[in-house]
Amino acid sequence: MSNQPNTRTRRRRGSAQPTLKEVAEAAGVSSITASRALNTPERVSEAARARVLQAVERLGYVPNLVAGSLASASSRFIAVIVPSLANAVFIEVIHGLQETFEAQGYQILLGNTDYDPQREYQLIRTFFGWSCSALVTAGLRHSGPCRTLLEGWEQPIMEVMELGQALDLNVGLDHRDAGRCMARHLLERGHRAIVYVGAGMADDYRAGLRYDGHREVLEGQGLAAPCLDIGRPGGLDAGARGLELALEHHPGIAAIHFANDDLATGALLHAQRRGLQVPGQIAIAGFNGLPLGQHVTPRLTTIQSPRHTIGRLAAEEVLRRLAGKAVRRRQHDVGFTLLEGEST
Amino acid sequence: MSNQPNTRTRRRRGSAQPTLKEVAEAAGVSSITASRALNTPERVSEAARARVLQAVERLGYVPNLVAGSLASASSRFIAVIVPSLANAVFIEVIHGLQETFEAQGYQILLGNTDYDPQREYQLIRTFFGWSCSALVTAGLRHSGPCRTLLEGWEQPIMEVMELGQALDLNVGLDHRDAGRCMARHLLERGHRAIVYVGAGMADDYRAGLRYDGHREVLEGQGLAAPCLDIGRPGGLDAGARGLELALEHHPGIAAIHFANDDLATGALLHAQRRGLQVPGQIAIAGFNGLPLGQHVTPRLTTIQSPRHTIGRLAAEEVLRRLAGKAVRRRQHDVGFTLLEGEST
DNA sequence: TAGAACTATGTTAGCGCTAACATGACAGCG
DNA sequence: CGCTGTCATGTTAGCGCTAACATAGTTCTA
């Protein structure tokens, strides 16, 4: 199947958009000078720079970032993978990341696994195909193929939300410890019959870690630490259901430690509607410190997680690494704060 | 400055990642066949396809999407611009977009203007540089330079949230009409002294459109339609403040029509805490139909906006256009539903 | 049964940009 | 004054992939 060289001219494909070459011609410089005028202006004389910028303006030139990325083998994309957009927690982390990265000219590529580990692998493959400068992912647990891909990758990897054995960089908090903290608080307030209620803790395994801490404290006091998982991550509705189920399965219960504020607030509002006294008849605690919980009556007892800070710090750490500077810490504990409300 | 051709070989730049060419060699085909095996498998014999896929697997090949985009002048990126991530409304729209686009192999590029029109221009420039396949943006109002850029663009532009004079495609609802609807409802419930309370309506101008509708109805009945803007878009806190200010500035007020559910719920929870009867002493209405409002007691009267549907429909319409199929409608009214709660 | 139509595959030439190297001009220096 | 260093700019050669066109073999059609 040997072909003869084609001597006729082919039809061109390009669009009507002006290219850097045209800008350079208009400015009377070579294209590399035009490139430098835009990307590293300090390496070009003031005169040349001015003429290039003027030509850019006049022609309405918009740099083709795809071509630039191919040529430089780097894209100024930051891949961000979260398990859910429905959860305000991740939104705030994303916001913190976005602010910090965009200020440095990086663009976030957002991926949402919807708590499906398979999706993570797919997303990472796609993102690698975009020559991302770094990857930020929520959590430390990854599927086998995922780990293989990640370990073969040369760019910074930042795992956020929880602290632990990370692949590379790590910013988060100790969820087990947060669980312990709230369990201790509930004991201090005199509650003994305490149920931990989560939703989809197989997926939201950080809720499981908090339960582990919770149980450790209760069992340390010789108390039972029953756990109720009402299936699939959910919101206020799920909280209401959680309250009902907990009361049904555990009569004589004094307090419920919910896996998060959505559940806890849902339960609290439901208790109100049912006429149950909180914390008189049942104490309720949450986790996250969402604004919502601080506006209900009684105010929700919960643990404040510094979500925006996680995003900002993670971004700063990644940027420092990308700039080639030494990383202050590979691991960063952002801590948490117990918010003592009126619900416990 | 004439240079002699360089005859020495230069140092190569490429990374260690296998390329399509290597996959093709391993499979014993040309690179274009390997390309086709991956992108248009139906145009390749089964035998060749199998060998290519096997080579991909063996070498751990990850397609370089940057190179592919440059060569094909299209990136399968969808630019999405929203004014805020703090607002659950936009998150749900994004989710609807994401689900639908990702199923077709498109990747969303998310931009957040934080209600700054300048940022929109910057974001659009960047996104155009990525050869996006389409742009989805919240709202119909754009700065002058922005319009110029958009009008010169050849790809589909989808404006979502509100209905009106759009640049290209449009999916949303009539906010003025929603304002009218709620105003009528409040009149039906016998309220006469009604204040409209918003936060940052210069930025969140759709809240302003709803107020226009509200005023139209009230003034049509010979009633005053005072409006109170408490500055900067805000959440539950702002709602509490809005309630206080409204009571202060408008003694004798019977009802407050809030610009959104966050404000309304914040006010409602604050009223509870203050011991104000809702709707006995003060009626409260919102807009959006967020779950939160449906879980408080009394249940919030609000207008349900089909946010997820907006996202899904917008994506479907764009995909139809990208597939070259005729567009069913350039404009799509998703409507809204009055949720009569107990707060009015 | 000639030739049109279709199928599978290949060759070539870029896409628009930047890394690497090259060159000439000039300043500083012993 | 030649040498070295720095600066501004230029030439060249790709980055890895796919569109466009080319070519054989096969099947269908008149």
Which chain D positions come under 7 Å from a protein C-beta?
A: 7-24
pLDDT, residue B14, reads 53
Return the number of other C-beta atoms located less than 10 Å from residue A13's C-beta.
Answer: 8
> Which residues in chain B touch residue A94, judged by CB atoms under 8 angstroms apart?
85
**Which of B61, B62, B113 should one mutate to test binding to chain A, selecting the residue with the greatest count of A CBs within 10 A?**
B62
pLDDT, residue A231, reads 87
Indicate the domain borders of chain B. 20-63, 73-173+308-334, 175-304
Minimum CA–CA partner of A145 in chain B: B60
**Inter-chain contact B129–A269, Cβ cutoff 8 Å?**
no
SS3 A10: coil
Q: Which superfamily is assigned to B73-173+308-334 in CATH?
A: Response regulator (3.40.50.2300)
Q: Yes or no: say if B180 and B158 are a contact pair by the CB < 8 Å rule.
A: no
pLDDT at A126 over 60: yes
pLDDT at A341 over 60: yes
SS3 A56: helix
What is the CA A2 to chain-centroid distance, rounded?
53
Distance A46 CA to C23 C1' (A): 21
Q: pLDDT tens for residues B278-296? A: 999 999 999 999 999 999 9
Q: pLDDT tens for residues A131-181? A: 999 999 999 999 999 999 898 888 999 999 999 999 999 999 999 999 999
Is the fold of B20-63 the same as that of B73-173+308-334?
no
CA atoms within 13 A on the CB side of A189: 24
pLDDT at A311 over 50: yes
- Supply the mean pLDDT for chain A: 92
Minimum CA–CA partner of A296 in chain B: B269
Distance of residue B167 Cα from the nearest chain A Cα, in angstroms: 20
pLDDT, residue A63, reads 96
Q: What is the mean pLDDT of residues B215-238?
A: 94
Q: Identify the band that residue A5 occupies on the pLDDT scale cut at 50, 70 and 90.
A: very low
Q: Among B65, B110, B235, whose Cβ lies nearest the Cβ of A108?
A: B110
Measure CA to C1' and name the residue nearest C13: A10
Q: Among B63, B154, B296, whose Cβ lies nearest the Cβ of A269?
A: B296
pLDDT at B27 over 50: yes
**Separation CA B84–CA A331 (nearest Å):** 30
Q: Which superfamily is assigned to A20-63 in CATH?
A: lambda repressor-like DNA-binding domains (1.10.260.40)
pLDDT at A229 over 80: yes
Among chain B residues 62 through 121, which have CB within 7 angstroms of nucleic chain D?
A: 63-64, 67-68, 70-72
pLDDT at A9 over 70: no
Q: What is the mean pLDDT of residues B233-260?
A: 94
pLDDT, residue B5, reads 36
**Inter-chain contact A85–B91, Cβ cutoff 8 Å?**
yes
What is the CA B240 to chain-centroid distance, rounded?
27
Distance of residue B157 Cα from the nearest chain A Cα, in angstroms: 18
pLDDT at B8 over 60: no
Closest listed residue to residue A189, CA positions, set A260, A279, A271, A258: A279
**Which of A65, A66, A70, A115 should one mutate to test binding to chain B, selecting the residue with the greatest count of B CBs within 10 A?**
A66
Distance of residue A269 Cα from the nearest chain B Cα, in angstroms: 6
Among chain A residues 51 through 80, which have CB within 7 angstroms of nucleic chain D?
A: 67, 70-71, 73
Residue B218 — left, alpha, or beta (φ > 0 → left; ψ -120 to 50 → alpha)?
alpha
Distance A4 CA to D26 C1' (A): 22
Strand partners, B288: B304
Strand partners, B153: none
As a whole-number percent, the residues of chain B with pLDDT over 90 amount to 86
Q: Cβ of residue B60 near strand D, that is under 7 Å? A: no
- Exposed/middle/buried for residue A325 (C-beta within 10 Å: 0-12, 13-18, 19+): exposed
Pairing of strands B134-138, B157-162: parallel
Q: Yes or no: say if A107 and A315 are a contact pair by the CB < 8 Å rule.
A: no
Q: What is the mean pLDDT of residues B56-75?
A: 95
Q: Yes or no: say if A88 and A289 are a contact pair by the CB < 8 Å rule.
A: no
Assign domain A75-173+308-334 one CATH number from 3.40.50.2300, 1.25.40.10, 3.40.50.720, 1.20.1560.10: 3.40.50.2300
pLDDT, residue B279, reads 92
pLDDT, residue B329, reads 67
pLDDT at B3 over 70: no
Q: Identify the band that residue B235 occupies on the pLDDT scale cut at 50, 70 and 90.
A: confident
> Which residues in chain A touch residue B270, judged by CB atoms under 8 angstroms apart?
295
**Inter-chain contact A112–B95, Cβ cutoff 8 Å?**
yes
Counting DSSP H helices and E strands in chain A, the numbers are 12, 12
Q: Which superfamily is assigned to B175-304 in CATH?
A: Response regulator (3.40.50.2300)
C-alpha to C-alpha distances, A49 to A39, A123, A289, nearest whole angstrom: 11, 40, 51
**Inter-chain contact A70–B66, Cβ cutoff 8 Å?**
yes
> Which residues in chain A touch residue B15, judged by CB atoms under 8 angstroms apart?
73, 154
pLDDT, residue B232, reads 84
Closest listed residue to residue A260, CA positions, set A239, A245, A277: A239
Q: What is the mean pLDDT of residues B179-207?
A: 96
